[in-house]
Chain A
Amino acid sequence: MQTDLSVVRVMKKFQEFTAVDGVSFDVEKGKFFSILGPSGCGKTTLLRMISGFFEPTSGTIEINGRNMAGIPPNKRPVNLIFQNLALFPMMNVGQNIAFGLERQREKRNVIRTKTAQILERVGLPGFEKKKVDQLSGGQRQRVAIARSLILEPAVLLLDEPLGALDLKLREQMKIELKTLQSQVGTTFVYITHDQSEALVMSDHVAVMNKGVFEQVDTPRNLYSKPSTPFVARFVGENNQWDARVISLDERKGRVVAAIMTPEGHRFEARVQGQLTPGADIDLFLRPEAIVLEPDAAIEGLNRFSIIVRSILFDGANSRILARLPESDREIQISLPQTRQFDHITPGNRVDAGWSPESGMVFAKEKNRDSDPRRVTP
């Protein structure tokens, strides 16, 4: 597979602040690659370096195998979709789309046919004469994409273009963007802080935090096998539970740890990385990994009790907000809307359990912020 974009140990410093700290990744031709991270993690800086608005302090960026050092944005085979789309309000839709081709001194009739074709492709045929402010949010989105795609860039960079849309439209545009990308086959590099956008659309997602990539993986692996505690917290919901390793055991070629929580629960869980007995750990449990009222016959299940605090009804995403009987530790558990658990009301004591396979254990972090959504300057 051909590599369209190759970023090697790229670093960007603003005075003392390091925005991007030695990031490396490759994007294959025709892939949808996302960079997911909280605001201030350096993802926009990275994107602006690829598009040419910033020069990296060190490291190289190659597009189609060509080193991009010193090449200004107007000479790079990449185009950027801005967060606010940046459609030119002084021009109509046709003029907006033709802007790039006119700069390449393309013939007038070629521009006209290409504009008509690209508008057709993004589902806006005959929109040339419309004014930008006559368009709806979704239509503006498509015009912005058409304006870039008409130049046939090697890589299309997208800077959270769905951020300004309302929820319903955003859901719809996610699917549209993904469909469009697979149709045109252009390599997309998409940055977002919305994990659902990244997971739904991407072939590969890089999770970025404080200027570094924590994990680059497929959306499925990112969710089921996070390699760092940050990824576990940032991608999807997770309950965090501190505990201590009692013993380590190898079973069917996998390391399983027996752990003890401060409340006195003894659990077994799968281990990520190196651990020694006696080490402090963080246990991550997905809300949907916890089973309510498990059958007593199931073997090897980690079992504990909870006291229901409240029920957060949100359709398919409904949750139980619970605490442990022994302490105030808060736990969220998915509540399947199968009517099976309709009898559960706040104040109830309910049995819960989880399989050792679905819990994730990481060595306790030292000197790291516990809140992933904290904005770094």
Chain B
Amino acid sequence: MKPGIRWGLVIFISPVLAWLTLLIVLPQVDMFIMAIRAENSLGEMGFSLGNFKLFFLEPIYWRTFARTAIFSVLVTFLTFLITMPVAFYITKVVSPKFQGFLAVLVLMPFWVSELVRVYGWMILLRESGVINHFLLKFGLLDQPMEMLYNDVAMVMGLVYTSMLFMLVPLLSALESLDNNLIEAAYDLGGNVGSIATRIVIPHCLPGIVSGSIVVFMLTLGNYLTPNLMGGKNGLWFTEQIYNQFIASFNWNQGSAFGFLLLILSSGIIWLGLKLTHQRLGKVVQ
């Protein structure tokens, strides 16, 4: 091998390596060290698994943890259910002239920040909001109803926030699906259900899995939407981490929680890949 080629490799790979080391590996190592240290009874710092122990002893922590995991899976699944027909419609039903237009239409809301979008929902849903206003006006309600600060509103907000990240991989997966396959299945006696489950979904599986991974990770790590739309009785695990770092100023405890969240997301993604017989390398492509 010529030395020049090696230099090229070094030049191209070093920014990536530097980025990974400085921003991902070093902080994680530091977090891990913090997570396994705690104050003993004398107020001295030392090795301890107490931070992790506390997580299992206090029901509020592991319940929030389980709740976050279950809701994230639910949000991912709902996002898929809503996005799949949309993606199919854009790629296969609409005439090619409108495909780009419709895709931009779906993309457009994502040009504004998540915060603004969530506030948009809040304007619609809150007690003095737009929906309540019209329901009262048409006499469907006697007094305003609080639609925010519950799990339904939170899940809706999360699904809305995640849709784009499911839509893009699904669009490209469906784009590569040969229309003749759908027609052939139809010709051989298939109906909507069997064509979807035997042809369309198997073909799009890598796209579905990659979209699901992104949506799941973003939902699990989301802080803004659960905090603003979920209200006080709908806790999200990221809020617990935030509380430990900012409110309690217990960085060691917060680091332990952060690590648990990392393990949780890796675990569920691993499970999802196993269940769908996909490999991470293929899905990410």
By a beta-carbon cutoff of 8 Å, the part of chain A in contact with chain B is 51-53, 72-75, 79-80, 82-84, 86, 88-91, 99-100, 102-104, 147-148, 151
Contacts and interface: CB of A to CB of B under 8 A. Distances in A.
A75 B188 CA distance: 9
Given A74-B190, A82-B183, 18 more contacts: A51-B187, A53-B187, A73-B183, A74-B188, A79-B187, A82-B184, A83-B180, A84-B178, A86-B183, A86-B184, A88-B185, A89-B203, A99-B188, A100-B188, A100-B189, A103-B194, A104-B189, A151-B188
Contacts of A84: 178, 180
B189 A103 contact: yes
22 contacts: A51-B187, A53-B183, A53-B187, A72-B186, A73-B186, A73-B187, A74-B190, A74-B191, A79-B188, A80-B183, A80-B187, A82-B183, A83-B180, A86-B183, A89-B203, A90-B199, A99-B190, A100-B188, A102-B194, A103-B194, A104-B189, A147-B188
Interface in B85-106: none
A104 B183 CA distance: 17
Interface string B40-83: 00000000000000000000000000000000000000000000
B181 interface: yes
A74 B189 contact: yes
A80 B189 contact: no
A99 B185 contact: yes
B202 interface: yes
Residue of A88, A89, A100 with most partner-chain B CB within 10 A: A88
Given A51-B187, A53-B183, A151-B189, A88 B194 contact: no
B232 interface: no
Contacts of B190: 74, 99, 103
A88 B199 contact: yes
Contacts of B199: 88, 90
Nearest to B183: A53
A216 B199 CA distance: 39
Contacts of B186: 72-74
A90 B202 CA distance: 7
Contacts of A88: 181, 184-185, 198-199
A103 B191 CA distance: 8
A17 to B, nearest CB: 16
B168 to A, nearest CB: 22
A160 B9 CA distance: 49
Interface of B: 178, 180-181, 183-191, 194, 198-199, 202-203
From A51, A91, A100, name the one whose CB has the most chain B CB atoms within 10 angstroms: A100
A317 B171 CA distance: 51
A236 B74 CA distance: 65
Contacts of A90: 198-199, 202-203
Nearest to A81: B184
B128 to A, nearest CB: 51
A86 B191 contact: no
10 shortest interchain CB distances as A-B pairs: A103-B189, A86-B184, A86-B180, A100-B188, A90-B202, A73-B187, A82-B180, A74-B189, A80-B187, A73-B186
A86 B181 contact: yes
Contacts of B203: 89-90
A100 B203 CA distance: 19
A151 B185 CA distance: 13
Contacts of A103: 188-191, 194
Nearest to A53: B183
Nearest to A75: B189
Nearest to B179: A86
Contact of A148 (B180, B183, B188, B194): B188
A51 B180 CA distance: 13
Contacts of B180: 82-84, 86
A100 B190 CA distance: 7
A83 B191 CA distance: 22
Contacts of B185: 88, 99
A91 B202 CA distance: 9
Nearest to A100: B188
A151 B181 CA distance: 17
A207 B191 CA distance: 35
A102 B195 CA distance: 12
Nearest to B195: A74
A100 B188 CA distance: 5
A100 B194 CA distance: 11
A271 B186 CA distance: 50
